[in-house]
Structure 1
Amino acid sequence: MTNEAAQVQVDPSNAEQFRAWEGDEGAYWVSRAERIDDGVARYHHRLLDAAAIDPADNVLDIGCGGGQTTRDAARRATTGSALGVDLSSRMVDLATRVAEREHVPNVTFLQADAQVHPFPEGHFDVTISRHGVMFFGDPHAAFTNLARATRPGGRLVLLTWQPHERNEWLTVFRTVLAAGRDLPPPPPPTPGSLKDPDQARELLTSAGFTDVRLTGLTEPMYFGPDPDDACGFVRGQFAGMLDGLDPATRARAVDALRADMADHHTDAGVHYDSAAWLVEARR
């Protein structure tokens, strides 16, 4: 498989996301792929159990990242298959290598923009995503494309984040790394973020899905075994928030982050509360 950028069809509305995932953001996630999987581990099996994957199912995983959800879906689809797609060529390469190492023969990975990729029509029995469908430039077009790829009667099962204020990890990190600056408030939920249940139902119904249901889930998120390690991880993940700070202010912000993480440190590591939606629908 080749993942040259010139060969990937990307909708113009997703061009900025493509540049980010082909650039520093994608490189960072690849370097910390296992930590990212560990961070949302409490949600992992809840997503797969809700997907109710049968042995003969063909599964599509959107925004597959390092491929954990795709590989585990393939393990459940023992006589079927699983395809994971992601904008990041680095992620796709990593996911492919891990699948080969773990000997998962019925899984494949593809660098693609799911908003416009020509998936075979009605091919997939289950379409899943773990926090990978919230950033489409044209969410209606994207979900219409996914509905086209899902067979009639097939299932859509997604995890998306609930609003900012319900996620302790987001509110704390944003406040601490602001270092006293007055940052603009987070933007209100857009339909494509799936954070607002009414907007999510309207979007998915208009795209061709039915019986749309959102179930609120809350789980602790893991950030590292100790405050120093967790601080290093989050500092990298939220590096943009430190841009423009003078060295002394940046150091104070990082010290404050480490101190807050010490308050969240348990025998099981550093955890912060989080809240997600489990989104389920039928084609």
Structure 2
Amino acid sequence: MTGNPAAASANAEQIEAWNGVVGAKWVANQDRLDRVLAPFGRAILEAAAPKPGEHALDIGCGCGATTLELARQVGREGRVMGIDISGPMVARARDRAGMLGLSPVFEVADASSYPFEPGSFDLLMSRFGVMFFDNPPSAFANLRRGMKPGARLAFICWRALGENDWVKVPLAAALAHVQPPAPTPPGTPGPFAFADRSHVLSILERAGFSSIAIEPFDAPMAIGTPEGGIEEALTQSIEIGPIARLIADAPEDVRARARDAVREALLKHRTESGIALGGAAWIVTARA
């Protein structure tokens, strides 16, 4: 399942997006996004507690920030695999690993159906990479088959959009000028698919996990940098997330008004370290 995994996957829509415009934007903004998500990456690595010599899997590894840190922590005696459906992002992850002299294995593949060697992992971890599965119980059951008995699962996922100001604030400003997105059923694959704690618990129980713990984690997110100012924060807010889709086909004057509204909303949250908006997540741990 290397190369383009679309033919073998039920997640065709997600694969198309992350190998197209969405993936390209994440690669282009990799440094910014790693900085924004750093508090959440540190939190899930602490919860996962990788140990020297362990065999670990990073699910939805993206451009590799957490995969590389896993590789550092398990050391030369350990093994790390990063898996993601985005070819452009995995290519970036491989480049970064080479520059750092680290040797995790990366696969461009769909973790929901990848034929993992049974009983091979001590640890499965993910930073915001598990909310996009078309069939989450089936996906997690497949992942569990790759784990040793008693192995650890640890992932971080977003709580509800309404609790996440990094999306809510700019989106509310833009919606004064563009049509809102069509409503989607709860649990639809996407950033906030795991917002409901009971939904996450049910998925993992159905997949056969035990000792499940789901705890809230909140941290400020620095959108942009002091050097880049409001324009950097504005670009980041508009290019990454739902606003990009909402304004993509809008007339230029409507897009301009939406950008101005988002800029004004972000300025209200300016701090010495840039635009700071809250992020709200779940830290989820379990055992195979």
- Normalising by the residue count of structure 1, what TM-score does the alignment of the two structures yield? 0.93
Any gaps of 5 or more consecutive residues in structure 1?
Answer: none
* CA contact 1:10–1:116 (8 Å) conserved in 2: no
How far does residue 243 in structure 1 lie from its aligned partner after superposition? Answer: 2.7
How far does residue 10 in structure 1 lie from its aligned partner after superposition? Answer: 5.0
1:232 maps to which of 224, 230, 235:
235
Query: Is 2:83 the counterpart of 1:85?
Result: yes
Which has the higher mean CA deviation after the structures are superposed, 58-67 or 227-236?
227-236
Query: Is 2:223 the counterpart of 1:220?
Result: no
Cα distance in 2 for partners of 1:185, 1:165 equals 17
CA deviations on 1:90-147 (whole Å, 9 max, x unpaired) are: 1111100100101113x11110100100011110100000000001011111000011
- Normalising by the residue count of structure 2, what TM-score does the alignment of the two structures yield? 0.92
Any gaps of 5 or more consecutive residues in structure 2?
Answer: none
Cα distance in 1 for partners of 2:236, 2:180 equals 22
Partner amino acid, structure 2, of 1:223: I
2:137 maps to which of 132, 135, 140:
140
Partner amino acid, structure 1, of 2:251: D
Distance 1:232 1:191, change over 3 A: closer
How far does residue 58 in structure 1 lie from its aligned partner after superposition? Answer: 0.5
Partner amino acid, structure 2, of 1:231: L
Q: Secondary structure at the match of 1:40?
A: helix
Q: Secondary structure at the match of 2:10?
A: helix
Cα distance in 2 for partners of 1:3, 1:85 equals 10
* CA contact 1:61–1:69 (8 Å) conserved in 2: yes
Query: Cα RMSD over matched residues?
Result: 1.8
In structure 1, what is the equivalent of residue 101 of structure 2? 103
* CA contact 1:10–1:112 (8 Å) conserved in 2: no
Distance 1:10 1:123, change over 3 A: farther
Cα distance in 2 for partners of 1:191, 1:176 equals 24
Cα distance in 2 for partners of 1:135, 1:241 equals 20
In structure 2, what is the equivalent of residue 74 of structure 1? 71
In structure 2, what is the equivalent of residue 42 of structure 1? 39
CA deviations on 1:235-260 (whole Å, 9 max, x unpaired) are: 22232111343222211110111122
